[in-house]
Chains A and B, each alone.
Chain A
Amino acid sequence: MGLAKRIIPCLDVDNGRVVKGVKFVDIRDAGDPVEIARRYDREGADELTFLDITATHDNRETIVHVVEKVASEVFIPLTVGGGIRTLDDIRRMLNAGADKVGINSAAVFNPDFVREAAERFGSQCIVVAIDAKKVAEQRWEIFTHGGRKPTGIDAIEWAQRMVNYGAGEILLTSMDRDGTREGFDLPLTRAISEAVSVPVIASGGVGNLEHLAQGVLQGKADAVLAASIFHFAEYTILEAKQAMAAHGIEVRLA
């Protein structure tokens, strides 16, 4: 008996539609975000994450409407990320019905933003998203702009600093693995998870259900996030949970 490891489907939203990951040149349309959110909720998703992949004005409006609609009928935690830069952005998402917001680039450009956000809205709703890339054995660096720009910041130190500033959770994406379907960067996941006191969500690289279990067992992640393997009904959330349970991982089977 104890706390379940969470499975979090991520919906990358562009122009009102859920699309396959950012890294794919050939963006495939996976459907209507509200319908997909409903399906994941029925299948037993533990939380949902909406990612605004373009963060343009129009897409922002769309995401707010999607979150409002989903929040009125799906009663599990909802996180919104992508282009969150101001306290007003956060307030807007929370008012639309989001429970947490993911802060990514804005944290790198202005770390105090995380502190202000946590003080104003509480750590429980501040997820700091970290995009890390391997630069040497057991060494990872923070990258911005979808993994194109190095910052010289060490990923482990950064994660610890963000927790000190009030991050309630870390969403960790391996930019080496994102979109590859080769599985999480397990040493990275484990290094970050063991370095911070708050929960860590592993992201980037999931290609099959075995990868999800590895993220928890070897990566020591508290939650695992995946996008494309769920969107095209390759696997259902329930199958993912059953696969994790078969490895002895505690999951919520509704």
Chain B
Amino acid sequence: MSSVAIVDYGMGNLHSIAKALQFADDRTRVMVTADANTILAADRVVFPGVGAMRDCMQALRTLGLDEVLHTVARTKPLLGICLGMQALLTESAENDQVSCLNIVKGQVVRFAADLQDQHGQALKIPHMGWNQVHYESHPLWHNIQQDSRFYFVHSYYVQPQAAGVTIATTQYPEAFTCALAQENVFAVQFHPEKSQVVGLQLLQNFLHWDGLV
């Protein structure tokens, strides 16, 4: 029986992601934990999160989980979700610039305040709701149609330094990186645990993925 550890560092509600992972594959052992050894012993790791980046990084460092996540990224499949995705980057513009994990080189920036859609209507921030994901081939998109809609809620987004890291984009109104892939690391800005059938499919694909090491 394979296992997946959901990193619990006090940033948001992890029930949804735990329930969705269990629903996606009932033969996987799903653990919600802040314990380094449990995380390091799991076959796969999910790194979720909602809230502000400063609190996020502070919590990770206090719990010693920053180092753990670096090890995980080198040794087993890691799925970052929302704030968990952003925390993988080098630095975030949130809270007057916060140093992040630097597992993926790049920046986290905010949507500009004066964005408009093609009809000249002001775009709302946060970017909230179901938007289309245009992807490049990767095992985690197995059985998911091109341009499927996933559920987003965020005001910041990632800008990876290396263009090749971007594995999917979404338009709001310009294309931004909504998913990235770098070796064992796969990360998404949207919430697969709230994206109905396509989200569950992505989680199931992750639970069957062995990474690239």
Hey, which bits of chain A sit against chain B, CB under 8 A?
Answer: 1-6, 41, 46, 71-73, 75-77, 94-97, 99, 121-125, 168-169, 194, 197-200, 220, 222-223, 252, 254
Q: Is B2 an interface residue (CB 8 A)?
A: no
- A161 to B: closest C-beta gap in Å: 17
B129's partner among A71, A73, A199 (CB-CB below 8 A) is A199
Q: Do B23 and A75 touch (CB < 8 A)?
A: yes
With A75-B199, A77-B194, A97-B19 already in contact, the answer to whether A4 and B124 are too (CB < 8 A) is no
A46's partner among B51, B122, B127, B130 (CB-CB below 8 A) is B130
With A4-B130, A122-B50, A252-B130 already in contact, the answer to whether A76 and B16 are too (CB < 8 A) is no
- A250 to B: closest C-beta gap in Å: 9
Cα distance, A220 to B120, chains bound together (Å): 12
Q: Do A4 and B121 touch (CB < 8 A)?
A: no
Q: Do B171 and A2 touch (CB < 8 A)?
A: yes
Q: Do A46 and B129 touch (CB < 8 A)?
A: yes
Q: Do B194 and A99 touch (CB < 8 A)?
A: yes
- Which B residues are CB-close (under 8 A) to A169? 128
Cα distance, A4 to B148, chains bound together (Å): 12
Hey, which bits of chain B sit against chain A, CB under 8 A?
Answer: 12-13, 15-16, 19-20, 23, 50-52, 113, 117, 121-122, 124-132, 134, 147, 149, 151-154, 171-173, 193-197, 199-200
With A99-B13, A122-B52 already in contact, the answer to whether A75 and B195 are too (CB < 8 A) is yes
Cα distance, A220 to B122, chains bound together (Å): 10
The 3 closest A-B pairs by CB, nearest first: A252-B130, A122-B51, A4-B130
- A230 to B: closest C-beta gap in Å: 17
Q: Do B194 and A75 touch (CB < 8 A)?
A: yes
